[in-house]
Structure 1
Amino acid sequence: MSDAFDRRTLLRLGVTAGMAVPLIGLTPAPTSTAATSSAATSAECRPRFPDKWFPVTHFGAVGDGRTDDTSAFRRAIEACHRAGGGHVLVTGIHATGPIHLLSHVDLHLAAGSMLRFSTDPNDYLPVVYSRWQGIEFMNYSPLVYAHGQTDIAVTGSGVLDGQADATHWWDWKSLGDAEFPQLEAQANGGVPVRGRVFGQGFHFRPPFMQPYRCDRVLIQGVTFTNSPFWHLNPVLCTNVTVDGVTVNSSGPNTDGCDPESCDGVLITGCSFNTGDDCIAIKAGRNADGRRVNVPCQNIVIAHSTFANGHGGVTIGSEMTGGVRNVHGHDLTMNSTGLASCHRIKTNSVRGGFVESVLLERVDVGAVGGPMLLIDFNYGEGDTGQYLPTVTDINLADWAVQSCKQGWQMAGYHRDPIGTVRLSDVEITAMSGANVATDVRNLRLRNVTIGGRPAG
């Protein structure tokens, strides 16, 4: 097993001193003393901002919900950045296009404030360096974007509304899916990223917020709703904190929080109700993922709630660079509209690895499908030469009122799923049968279904 959680990593992620994660590779103890994340990361990890305030209305913003205030936001952010950093203050209701953050700038949404983002794709041009379903290219700007910045934040208690609906952005889904093979062909053919120019004339929906190659990113307290695509998608970032954020959307591919090829992410005190995965940990896709080859690692998910979605805590399917060291604890999942609680999805075109995962102290009211789903036949299925490795998957101290299955797992006969441990799991009611196909080492300890030991 490589790169298990170490003390420095845990402290950097804000884990209580003096406690230790039971190292993945050991069966979790019945009374786990696993680390409990604080609601905030350490001072080392979170950005700091000077106590200087730049009200966006001082830079020409009208705030009537109709006038385009995009230029005012740009001027306020640039002034704050030039002054050495601080807080751009948002009050009122603002119509805006894309917002690009710069180093040392906190976009702070006061109580009652709202950002209503344009639904005109032309407002998100020129194209920027982005990633879409794990492949890098030039595309429409995300609604909130930063590239190569340090110490950036979106904080407060206001609402960011992407305004996507059945006739704006979401109706692009089938068109974008049909165009995706063009992007894949360019990536597979080695076309340089800046030569993969899409945007106008194509239908790749931008994510809501995408910090790209940034360090010390904070998203705190605000609500995101109605994104064109994934809501929060930090890519190749370090030291990311998502704290007390609400994500609410029912549209296609409106994942809640998808850290991708990041190192050091804390997601805590959040609420997810989505049209796709609530949280999906990712690391690039296929040939482009092998080119970039950066894992997503050292992820803590704590004290959060999950309603509708395809998966609660998901890994993949874009996992080519690998995923390791994921610790989730004190989570609540409750919706028959949630298709699975913990989901790992991959195939032999993706390849990559998933290792050292621990999800503990999870309370499940109802879930529409399995508690645990591991699927090696997602998407393209077994049509490639890059066999995935999935091992050291640990679920401990789960209470599940009702589910379709406790586990549904399918590896490959030539490439089985590795070690999966379930410990102190109580399932009150289960409507289907458990499935474990091509799993090398399934270990059950104190697992009951309907009051009887699971076999």
Structure 2
Amino acid sequence: MEKVYNQISPPTFPDKTYVITDYYNGKDSLYTDAINRAIEACSSQGGGTVLVPDGEFLTAPIRLKSNVNLHLSNSTILKFTTDYNLFETVLTRIEGIDCHNISPLIYAYGENNIAITGKGKLDGQASTDNWFAEQRIRGIKSENGETVNEKTLLYQMKEDSIPVKERIFEKANGIRPQFINLYKCKNILLEGFTINRSPFWLIHPLLSENVTIKGVKMQSHGPNNDGCDPESCENVLIEDCDFDTGDDCIAIKSGRDEDGRYWNIPCKNIIVRECRMKDGHAGVAIGSEITGGCHNVWVENCQMDSPELDRIIRIKSNPMRGGNVENVFVRNITVGECKQSILGIEQKYWHVDEGPYLPLFENIHLENITSKKSQYVLHLDGFDDKSQIRNIYLKDCSFEGVEKPEINKVTGAENIRFENVTVNGEPFHEM
């Protein structure tokens, strides 16, 4: 891990500052043009800091450029409009599927040396009384005249191998976008700010390298509100962050089905350390869109505690998505309570139990994990006649308050080893 940790270094920026209010014309109701003009000026003149001063500023989606640090002052609230008519259409991915969709609230494509820093707040304004929530039932007309949900239509386009250039979702027919989406970028720093009321995933680095996410508070409980989703990324550090989310706190991904196999780029060298997780489907998840695979994940020195936190570590896929996940190292984790299991593995996610691409999960190490309450220690749901879950090793762990008499619920796994593990105060040596 130390070798990977030393390879990750945050970008630095010239000592020049561009204040967004200097670019505001005094007439616009939104600060979108002022912010984007300041970013463009900063980038074109060699880089520096674009300062959002104290106060509340309403904006449509904004686009980051190379060598720009977007800095939020301590009392800044950067608030994003929910008027979909003000969202341009950009290339992105939604749940592992490539498409053109309405812009994430903060977006960058192919940029180098970019940052969002400062103690201010990013507010996406997504709520149950605006279109970000209504879209789940609104739907649009498909070619055969049926009314379908936008994401359902995207899934069908993927199944029908519709070219990406024709998968277009814009304005009123847009799919709920990510809050921050950094696509094919290098040298990224996200530090210090609070993010809430996101329409979809909060932070989504995609096909990006050298990513540092540090001291960010992710507090958002809307639908699909994953906290941080590095997808097909390399060398990512998530450190000293707080998660209180409506879905997985962290979800590591690498594309879905044929789109994932087209790129075939794994997520690798991911470090999660000194974070705090509250509500969420999992503290750290790998999948379910993990077709490109995942290699080398370290999770250490974290605290996870909530009756609404389903699992501590979760790995998930199915035989249509596939994906090889290997070398996952989890150590020094303090768990107050979780709803289901310390380690949950699902190889038939969404009840898909047949297909040509069996996922393989192997070499998963848990060390020095303490927990006060859970249903299970292990909940491993693999294939009855195949061992596609291999080499699980637990060492120096203490699990209290395990509710189920069968402390492990295991199907389709082999070579599970225990060393110095206690369950409800009793030594546990074998399955």
TM tier, smaller: over 0.9
Listed as ranges, the matches of 1:330-341 within 5 Å are: 330-341=301-312
Residue 48 (str. 1) matches residue 43 (str. 2): no
Q: 2:87, 2:171 within 8 Å by CA — same for their partners in 1?
A: no
Kindly provide the CA deviation profile for residues 36-78 of structure 1, in whole angstroms up to 9, marking residues without a partner as x: xxxxxxxxx3111100000101101769xx9311110111001
Kindly provide the CA deviation profile for residues 159-185 of structure 1, in whole angstroms up to 9, marking residues without a partner as x: 000010002212323457833343233
Kindly provide the CA deviation profile for residues 343-377 of structure 1, in whole angstroms up to 9, marking residues without a partner as x: 11111011011100001000001111111100112
Matched residue type, 1:115: L
Listed as ranges, the matches of 1:336-347 within 5 Å are: 336-347=307-318
Task: List gaps (5 residues or longer) in structure 1.
Answer: 14-44
What's 1:121 paired with? 84
For the residue of structure 1 that corresponds to 2:161, the secondary structure is coil
What's 2:48 paired with? 86
Task: List gaps (5 residues or longer) in structure 2.
Answer: 140-147
What's 2:413 paired with? 439
What's 2:397 paired with? 425
What's 1:261 paired with? 232
Shift of residue 410, structure 1, vs aligned partner: 1.1
Listed as ranges, the matches of 1:174-189 within 5 Å are: 174-175=137-138, 178-189=149-160
What's 1:60 paired with? 24
Q: 2:84, 2:172 within 8 Å by CA — same for their partners in 1?
A: no
Residue 77 (str. 1) matches residue 51 (str. 2): no
In structure 2, how many angstroms separate the alpha carbons of the residues matched to 1:162 and 1:276?
Answer: 17
Q: 2:226, 2:247 within 8 Å by CA — same for their partners in 1?
A: yes
Kindly provide the CA deviation profile for residues 193-232 of structure 1, in whole angstroms up to 9, marking residues without a partner as x: 2221122342510000000000001100000001000000
User: How many residues are paired up?
Assistant: 416
Pair 61,408 (structure 1): closer, same or farther in 2 beyond 3 Å:
farther
- Equivalent residue for 1:148, pick from 107, 110, 117: 110
Range with bigger deviation, 242-251 or 416-425: 416-425
In structure 1, how many angstroms separate the alpha carbons of the residues matched to 2:189 and 2:250?
Answer: 17
For the residue of structure 2 that corresponds to 1:402, the secondary structure is coil
Q: Percent identity?
A: 41
- Equivalent residue for 1:166, pick from 128, 133, 139: 128
Matched residue type, 1:112: S
Listed as ranges, the matches of 1:160-239 within 5 Å are: 160-168=122-130, 169-175=132-138, 178-239=149-210
For the residue of structure 2 that corresponds to 1:372, the secondary structure is strand
Deviating beyond 6 angstroms after TM superposition, the runs of 4 or more aligned structure 1 residues are: none
Q: 1:349, 1:380 within 8 Å by CA — same for their partners in 2?
A: no
What's 1:453 paired with? 427
Shift of residue 121, structure 1, vs aligned partner: 1.4
Kindly provide the CA deviation profile for residues 86-130 of structure 1, in whole angstroms up to 9, marking residues without a partner as x: 0000112100010100000010001100101001111112x1001
Q: 1:175, 1:203 within 8 Å by CA — same for their partners in 2?
A: no
What's 1:288 paired with? 259
In structure 2, how many angstroms separate the alpha carbons of the residues matched to 1:231 and 1:112?
Answer: 21
Matched residue type, 2:400: T
Shift of residue 380, structure 1, vs aligned partner: 4.8
In structure 2, how many angstroms separate the alpha carbons of the residues matched to 1:203 and 1:383?
Answer: 32
Q: 1:303, 1:331 within 8 Å by CA — same for their partners in 2?
A: yes
Matched residue type, 1:51: D
Residue 301 (str. 1) matches residue 272 (str. 2): yes
Shift of residue 407, structure 1, vs aligned partner: 0.9
In structure 2, how many angstroms separate the alpha carbons of the residues matched to 1:68 and 1:179?
Answer: 28
TM-score by length of 1: 0.89
Shift of residue 243, structure 1, vs aligned partner: 0.4
Matched residue type, 1:98: P
In structure 2, how many angstroms separate the alpha carbons of the residues matched to 1:186 and 1:369?
Answer: 35
In structure 2, how many angstroms separate the alpha carbons of the residues matched to 1:8 and 1:192?
Answer: 40
What's 2:142 paired with? none
For the residue of structure 1 that corresponds to 2:206, the secondary structure is coil
Q: 2:102, 2:174 within 8 Å by CA — same for their partners in 1?
A: no
In structure 2, how many angstroms separate the alpha carbons of the residues matched to 1:201 and 1:97?
Answer: 15
Residue 247 (str. 1) matches residue 195 (str. 2): no
What's 1:327 paired with? 298
TM-score by length of 2: 0.93
Shift of residue 11, structure 1, vs aligned partner: 1.8
